[in-house]
A = this chain, B = another copy of it.
Amino acid sequence: MDDKLMLMIPGPTPVPESVLLAMAKHPIGHRSGDFFKIIAEVTEGLKWLHQTQNDVLILAASGTGAMEAGIINFLSQGDRVLVTTNGKFGDRWVEICEVYGLNVEKVTAEWGKVIDPEAVRASLEADADKQIKAVIVTHSETSTGVINDLETISRYVKAHGALMMVDAVTSLGATSVPIDAWGLDVVASGSQKGYMLPPGLGFVAVSPKAWEAYATAKLPRFYLDLGKYRKEAAKNSHPFTPPVNMFFALQVALGIMRAEGLENIFARHDRLKNATRAAMKALNLPLFAPDSAGSPAITSVAPIGVDAEKIRSILRKRFDIVMAGGQDHLSGKIFRVGHLGFVSDRDILTAISALEAALSELGYENFTAGAGVAAAAQVLTQ
């Protein structure tokens, strides 16, 4: 049915009606007192969400733009960086580093597996003369649904002294990313994920230590020059013309998040993840990420005996539910259920019910009808 679409992808995610209506407000001038007040308010809200006193800067860009800004503002050509990669986005940060002439050392894991923090530690310990300037970690790897152990890795990075740079695009707002407690120096994210907003804004949190590095960093940048954003943010302003309607929406979304509370938001995502995983197990659909490292934002499933793309197609055509497919070499091999942002317990029941119907329609026999929904319901009502 038209206008009946239900997004269960890892971005864009569903957006609350009140946020959508804020998108439809008439723009106001971005150099006005009214807009400065909005910048001040959303900046405070972002600091709350990021659990930090650091600067949190707002860019008109996708998450990739925010992440690129997070990398290139603090480094110079030839700098050695340690990049962890176990999926498409980790690979992307390697690519960005290489484009800018950084000297990349990688710690890798197979797609679907978690980065071993001890491997990061070993690399850092081997760097006796402290040549590694930054470690770049993808917290929740959107392409696989694996969450990496950022807390442990960041401890090792702090011990070494390198800058800790984090792609938190699908973790921020879905799980705790306590910037100050963990000592994260640069944290990038995007609006269309845990923020319950449409795409269009990127966010970068920057620590005082990262700003020290900024002072001597030499990679060229202008639109993505975070120093410009910091300077204007100090006046509750913005260096360029910001997407004012997205700011209206951000203001409303942060209000909704504050009303729910950080602990409740994180508990909800954890519950959605557990219910989804329990359902997949009950349906004998293999999970692509291990239980110990399942992302609270995305659950990837690698079905056996039934075609992932056919499942997605039926969900889309019969039930107007969109799930994501696999990317690159995982295309056709997995499907990914996004459950971050404005997603409720009810949505998981809905998605699993429809998934069961699709499995039946496809002649998949390795399950008992109703078992997935029952398993999900059990988790949700615990």
Contacts and interface: CB of A to CB of B under 8 A. Distances in A.
Interface of A: 3, 5, 7, 9, 11-15, 20-21, 23-32, 60-65, 68, 95-96, 99-101, 190, 192, 198-200, 219-225, 240-246, 322, 324
B12 A199 contact: no
A12 B29 contact: yes
Nearest to A93: B222
Contact of A95 (B24, B25, B60, B222): B222
B24 A23 contact: yes
A100 B222 CA distance: 9
Contacts of A27: 7, 12-15, 192, 198-199
Contacts of A21: 24
A270 to B, nearest CB: 24
Given A24-B24, A27-B199, A223-B224, A244 B12 contact: yes
Contact of A199 (B30, B32, B324): B30
Given A21-B24, A190-B241, A199-B30, A64 B223 contact: yes
A24 B5 CA distance: 15
A243 B200 contact: yes
Nearest to A325: B31
A23 B23 contact: yes
Contacts of A100: 220, 222
A212 to B, nearest CB: 21
Contacts of A29: 7, 9, 12, 322, 324
Given A198-B245, A245-B198, A240 B62 contact: yes
Given A26-B14, A28-B7, A244 B198 contact: yes
B241 A243 contact: no
Contacts of A324: 29, 31
A297 to B, nearest CB: 14
Nearest to A4: B26
A241 B11 contact: yes
7 contacts: A12-B244, A15-B26, A23-B23, A65-B240, A68-B223, A190-B241, A198-B243
A61 B223 CA distance: 9
Contacts of A322: 28-29, 32
Contacts of A11: 241
Given A60-B61, A200-B245, A244-B198, A220 B101 contact: yes
Contacts of A192: 27, 241
A84 B121 CA distance: 53
A192 to B, nearest CB: 6
A322 B30 CA distance: 11
B222 A99 contact: yes
Contacts of A198: 27, 243-245
Nearest to A92: B222
Contacts of A222: 64, 68, 95-96, 99-100
Interface centre among A9, A23, A32, A99 (most CB of B within 10 A): A23
B7 A200 contact: no
A2 B195 CA distance: 28
A357 B246 CA distance: 35
B60 A60 contact: yes
A301 B96 CA distance: 46
Nearest to A64: B240
A220 B5 CA distance: 39
